[in-house]
Structure 1
Amino acid sequence: MAKSGWGPAQAPRMDGTTVVVTGANSGIGLETVRHLARLGAHVLMACRNVEKADIARTDVLDSVPNARVDIVQLDLSDLASVRKGADEIADSHPVVDVLINNAGVMAGRHQLTADGFEMDFGTNVLGHYVLTGLLLEPLLAARSSRVVTVGSNAHRAGAIDFDDLGLETSFTTSRAYARSKFAQLVFAVELQRRLSAAGLTSPISVAAHPGATHSGVMRDSGALMSWLFTTPSLHWIRRTFIMEGPEGALPSLRAAIDPSVIGGQYYGPSGPMQFTGPPALALPSPRVVEPELGQRLWETAEELTGVRYPLTSTPQT
């Protein structure tokens, strides 16, 4: 765990709260669930693969025997599945205190979602956009709620070409993933902008990133990372510059539960290059907070998904 700075010892108890975590069956998502379970939250693991989620749930219960952890089947690459899962959550839990949009894919090749969107953008951005909108009512029912978007420092290399959302002729693994991570943070900022414009103090929209954390996405992010993770003589580099899942989950945990957090903030590791270290405030790329970009992405998501958030006002740009 964190050697100094903010860590689980500073985290408040979460008894009586309901937290939804997407992509909760492995990596950072699983460790986020474990942290929350130890703090007493009732955690809903929103996962595509129920069998893998059940194995992960058993793993959590082995380490936190009294944990309250349930599974909701939800595939972010299929908006019909997102709607079904969101309905199940809302019907069973009319109050949701925290939604952690953690799931993320790096497709590695040009693929389409069930709805015909480029896979990384359709899953990481549009899937979470729809889920958040459909869970807005139970989030509004909570006394104080949050939406946490889990991004990546890869967003700094991202850009959105609205004339080429499909990446039919310009696809590369890095371009697709960086674009999706950039768009996720634009979404997080725009959501907070719209909540504030509607006069709402809850929920708030916050973002986080795990730095350099040992995870499936990191291992699959190219030949260099594969070499780093599989070469025995490089174990000292992994130990020095890469965190394990429990530590990598702390920025998400802090964004989700620290009472000092306010809407629009972004948390990440505090060490050199934001690779490792206890979670602290971080600065995203300045492009993330451009109002015109946020509005265009939001309107594009509305058009592509047909989901419109029940907010009574829109921000001035």
Structure 2
Amino acid sequence: MTARSATEPPWTVAQIPDLTGTKIIVTGANSGIGLEATRAFAAHGAHVVLAVRDEGRGRDAAATVEGSTEVRRLDLADLASVRAFAESWRGDIRVLVNNAGVLVPPFGRTRDGFELQFGTNHLGHFALTNLLLPYLTGRVVTVASSAHRTGRIDFDDLDWSTRPYQAGSDAYAQSKLANLLFTLELQRRLEASDSRVISTAAHPGMAATNLGAGTGNAMLKLVGRFAVRWVAQSAADGATPMLFAATAPMPGAGYAGPSRRGEMTGPPMLVDRAPAAKDARTAERLWSVSEELTGVAFPW
């Protein structure tokens, strides 16, 4: 994997190809970078499905998008909802964007009993992707975070049952590391199955969104307000790594992120990941555990 040359013009959304006649699913598309990505995909001709927990908010968001859209309910914290979404699907999917997520909320569990961040950010998307893979023709893009660099997969306590939860930031980092390990193992399985689908990942850097608005961490809220005011790029700019990972030339398991200020802002490019996110054995083990927890397996 090589980064874009310093002399190469920055990638922009103008380089997104014509997507007329394609369908793209974006989870968590009712706000933030998910909504901005939806706007960009629709502007280039795609029919975009806003997969959201709150259909009312989803419809309000879709009304702000110029182009072809529809809203479907999807609660990633409820595996029954994930299965219902997949079972109702018909037709090809050009790109599945696993964007939705929760950031450092007060301790909670999903409907199926998993720690909320691991269950939503990783397990929900794990199940959704595997259930929809038979319809995929292009790419699976999973949105991670620089927070993965401090993450550790604790197979003895994935649900945070025995460790102090504290502010939940360690649980968030674990879920984001899981996202990248999922991307890695998914690509390996796709290649072994001779699939033409590729698995990629992206992170938005520091973007001005409402992710984390529900956090119970007062310090994180304070830092977040400062970052949004003085450091962060816009949600539209924060969406560009996701759009790059979905449409630009990318290697399998490639990871896109901002190119400036320590990957906080700037045009997208291929970026590196922490050594823990390259561990193929951990990725394979996490996959097996995720199949057991969700009851969903790789379809091929």
- Following superposition, the deviation at residue 219 of structure 1 comes to 5.0
Q: Please say if 1:207 is aligned against 2:197.
A: no
Aligned residue type for 1:148? V
Q: Please say if 1:251 is aligned against 2:251.
A: no
Answer whether contact 1:219 1:229 (CA < 8 A) is retained. Answer: no
Partner of 1:314: none
- Following superposition, the deviation at residue 168 of structure 1 comes to 1.8
- Following superposition, the deviation at residue 224 of structure 1 comes to 4.1
| CA distances 1:260-282 after superposition (whole Å, capped 9, x unpaired) | 11211000000021000000010
State which drifts further: 107-116 or 208-217: 107-116
Q: Please say if 1:95 is aligned against 2:84.
A: no
Answer whether contact 1:117 1:166 (CA < 8 A) is retained. Answer: yes
- Determine which of 260, 271, 296 is the counterpart of 2:285: 296
How many residue pairs were aligned? 289
Answer whether contact 1:29 1:249 (CA < 8 A) is retained. Answer: yes
Aligned residue type for 2:180? L
Partner of 2:3: none
Q: Secondary structure at the match of 1:273?
A: coil
Answer whether contact 1:214 1:243 (CA < 8 A) is retained. Answer: yes
Answer whether contact 1:149 1:207 (CA < 8 A) is retained. Answer: yes
Structure 2 CA distance for aligned equivalents of residues 115 and 227 of structure 1: 32
Answer whether contact 2:79 2:112 (CA < 8 A) is retained. Answer: yes
Q: Secondary structure at the match of 1:30?
A: helix
Aligned residue type for 2:130? G
Partner of 1:179: 174
Aligned residue type for 1:192? Q
Structure 1 unmatched runs, 5+: 312-317
Structure 2 CA distance for aligned equivalents of residues 98 and 40 of structure 1: 13
Q: Secondary structure at the match of 1:278?
A: strand
Identical positions, percent = 45
Structure 1 CA distance for aligned equivalents of residues 107 and 212 of structure 2: 19
- Determine which of 128, 134, 138 is the counterpart of 1:137: 134
Cα RMSD for the two superposed structures: 1.5
| CA distances 1:88-127 after superposition (whole Å, capped 9, x unpaired) | 2x23xx2111000000112522211111111101111110
Q: 1:293 to 1:15 in 2, by over 3 A?
A: same
Partner of 1:148: 141
Partner of 2:189: 194
Structure 2 CA distance for aligned equivalents of residues 126 and 19 of structure 1: 21
Structure 1 CA distance for aligned equivalents of residues 276 and 149 of structure 2: 9
- Determine which of 263, 266, 275 is the counterpart of 1:274: 263
Answer whether contact 1:219 1:225 (CA < 8 A) is retained. Answer: no
| CA distances 1:131-188 after superposition (whole Å, capped 9, x unpaired) | 001101111xx3xx00000000011111111110110232231011111011011001
Aligned residue type for 1:205? S
TM-score normalized by structure 1?
0.87
Partner of 1:16: 21
- Following superposition, the deviation at residue 225 of structure 1 comes to 4.4
- Higher helix proportion, which one? 1
Structure 1 CA distance for aligned equivalents of residues 230 and 12 of structure 2: 19
Aligned residue type for 1:42? H
Mapping of residues 88-127 of structure 1, within 5 Å: 88=88, 90-91=89-90, 94-127=91-124
Structure 2 unmatched runs, 5+: 1-8
Structure 2 CA distance for aligned equivalents of residues 224 and 242 of structure 1: 17
State which drifts further: 123-132 or 162-171: 162-171
Q: Secondary structure at the match of 1:55?
A: helix
- Higher strand proportion, which one? 2
